[in-house]
Amino acid sequence: MHPVLKLVAQRLSLGLLLLFFASILIFAGTTILPGDVAQSILGQSATPEALANLREELGMNEPAVTRYFTWLGGVLQGDLGTALTNGRDIAESLGTRFWNTLFLAFWAAVIAVPLAIFLGLLAVRYRDRWPDKLISGVTLASISIPEFLIGYVLMYFVSVKLGWFPSVAMINDSMTLGQKLNAIALPVMVLTLVVLAHMMRMTRAAILNVMQSAYIETAELKGLSRFDVIRKHAFPNAIAPIVNVVMLNLAYLVVGVVVIEVVFVYPGMGQYLVDHVSKRDVPVVQACGLIFAAVYIGLNMIADIVSILTNPRLRHPK
């Protein structure tokens, strides 16, 4: 088998194995949570007989191993279970919310990724001069501030004081694309500021590392301008580490939007998860946790595969 295909197969197998272990951790973590699901559903006034009947109906009296494989078998068939609090199908409830989360993450990535790469290239071009110091200082400050604080500050000044965008990011299917973009403008700004710093700094570091190579010195001796050296020779050879950090931040945009969705009351998976954690709705928490884990592992696998494909020593073995 070709070395590239072998490594890709290994990464895919490792990803599936990690997802399996993640499902075990998610199920075990939700199982050992304190409290009684039956009690939270029926209330404090429920009789012992009613509680016992509900536990039997929910399968809570079965061994944990049996319940885990029953749940995993349902997931493999596309059945995420039923919410305990309202009896609705979880997959159906998550459908719209999952796409809402992806919609928010997509527009944040559309802005953050090109801007981060451009600022990284600009910082390298003016290394140790005031543009580099300004960009590094601003991005370092933004990455040091908690995202919820950035959200509330933008909400106060941009929404309350200036009235440019709504403070509550509510969207629905009847809205046009322009109306949706206007509604999510503030959470997109916050997510962009949060991930921009990390991607920019890693882009800068990766390109500077490549700039120390001998072929870069050769390109400079040919009389190429510094920006052409960076754009044509350094940047293409720094794609692998840049792709890795971009994928990690894209995974964060999908998985780490919980806080932002709560702050802006955005109807995504994060808000749905928080609502049902407070109600101790275990099947919903398990389903959301597994989807978040699958997205995170999947994007990391893509980053690994891209790194493999961009490695010329693996593409052209001796």
Q: What is the pLDDT of residues 11-41, one digit of tens each?
A: 888 888 888 888 888 888 777 766 666 656 6
Judge whether 317 lies within some domain: no
Cα–Cα distances in angstroms (integers) from residue 33 to residues 29, 36, 37, 53, in the given order: 7, 9, 10, 21
Q: What pLDDT is recorded for position 317?
A: 54
Lowest mean pLDDT among 2-6, 12-16, 110-114: 2-6
Q: What is the CATH number of the domain that holds 260?
A: 1.10.3720.10
pLDDT band with cut points at 50, 70 and 90 for residue 2: low
CB neighbour list of residue 292: distance below 8 Å, 6 or more residues apart: 254, 255, 269
Across the range 143-160, mean pLDDT stands at 80
CB contact at 8 A, 308 and 267: no
Judge whether 187 lies within some domain: yes
**Number of domains into which the chain is organized:** 1
Q: What pLDDT is recorded for position 231?
A: 63
Lowest mean pLDDT among 162-171, 233-242, 278-287: 233-242
Judge whether 161 lies within some domain: yes
pTM above 0.95, yes or no: no
Judge whether 214 lies within some domain: yes
State pLDDT tens for residues 180-202.
888 888 888 888 887 887 778 77
Q: Which domain holds residue 269?
A: 101-277
Which residue carries 């692998």 as its tokens?
A: 240
Judge whether 313 lies within some domain: no
Judge whether 34 lies within some domain: no
pLDDT band with cut points at 50, 70 and 90 for residue 112: confident
Q: Closest by alpha carbon to 85, among 228, 278, 266? A: 278
CB neighbour list of residue 103: distance below 8 Å, 6 or more residues apart: 171, 180, 184
Sign of the C-alpha dihedral, residues 92, 248, 274, 288?
positive
Residue 316 has pLDDT above 60, yes or no: no
Judge whether 186 lies within some domain: yes
Which residue carries 């709560």 as its tokens?
A: 262
- E strand segments, 218-316: none
Judge whether 218 lies within some domain: yes
State pLDDT tens for residues 281-304.
778 888 888 888 888 888 888 877
